[in-house]
Structure 1
């Protein structure tokens, strides 16, 4: 596992990150105005934040219900045994499935927490039976169907200190 050593960023860099998290499509000119810089140094800072890995990409948020993926589920997965090989096999297999949006190795009473989006319950039953329960090392699963999404955010809280 690669351990990232954070590089020093100042208040201006932090403000840039805050603004870009709000609107990744903001023009450099508008961003510079918001944070009180001229355009050229602002662009240099954005490029540096990208090269240092603080900014890892720019994405469009889409409406899943308009794209046939209105149902959101979280699935607890318990493996038959906990070993590095089984974890790796499972992780490799999960990465190949587009319906699975997130996969987290967790501590507690189960091993992995998955987030998946599908069209409906029938689609989820198919995903569960044809995919999830056939992943390497799976012994059991527990599903939580989301009835309403109260809050969803990809923004990271950034301190201005």
Structure 2
């Protein structure tokens, strides 16, 4: 998909505030409302814009503990990975699941729960009981230094 300067400006603005009205977006990027809406619709239809979401503050909802969990599997077979991934999708406390390389682990999970008791419950009664899980290492997030969903678009400026 070809992106011109206006498309890139639209994407930057939407990443900053996905709830912006089309009228405000059009004004910020220097377009009238109808062409702006057409451009956004085209980028949605072509899959460049996947979705628009509201980001909640976990702490304000009583979710005070965030963990990065590395999971090693006992066997590296497609069916083992498929079963693990299907099972992990059932647990809303897992907000991210990545198949990784370059580590001794096979997966990295981001888990958000109210407290250590809830994490222990998830670890002992859910995660370690999934067929194929051989080893689990947990790290706990002390502070978020950077937390963004915005993708870097500066490499597109020369296009």
TM range (shorter): over 0.9
Residue 79 of structure 1 and its aligned partner are, at CA, apart by 0.3
Residue 81 of structure 1 and its aligned partner are, at CA, apart by 0.9
In the alignment, which residue of structure 2 is the partner of 1:4?
none
> What does 1:127-146 correspond to in 2, within 5 Å?
127-146=122-141
Residue 150 of structure 1 and its aligned partner are, at CA, apart by 1.3
> What does 1:1-150 correspond to in 2, within 5 Å?
7-108=1-102, 109-150=104-145
In the alignment, which residue of structure 1 is the partner of 2:157?
160
Q: Say whether the 8 Å CA contact 1:101–1:114 is kept in structure 2.
A: yes
User: Relative to structure 2, which stretch is displaced further, 58-67 or 121-130?
Assistant: 58-67
Give the Cα separation in 2 of the matches to 1:24 and 1:124.
Answer: 31
Question: 4+ residue stretches of structure 1 with deviation over 4 A?
Answer: none
Residue 135 of structure 1 and its aligned partner are, at CA, apart by 1.5
Provide TM-score, normalisation by structure 1: 0.93
Give the Cα separation in 1 of the matches to 2:28 and 2:157.
Answer: 15
RMSD: 0.9
Give the Cα separation in 1 of the matches to 2:41 and 2:122.
Answer: 40
Provide TM-score, normalisation by structure 2: 0.94
Residue 142 of structure 1 and its aligned partner are, at CA, apart by 0.2
Count of matched residue positions in the alignment of Structure 1 and Structure 2: 155
Residue 133 of structure 1 and its aligned partner are, at CA, apart by 0.5
Partner-residue secondary structure (3-state), 1:97: coil
Residue 42 of structure 1 and its aligned partner are, at CA, apart by 0.4
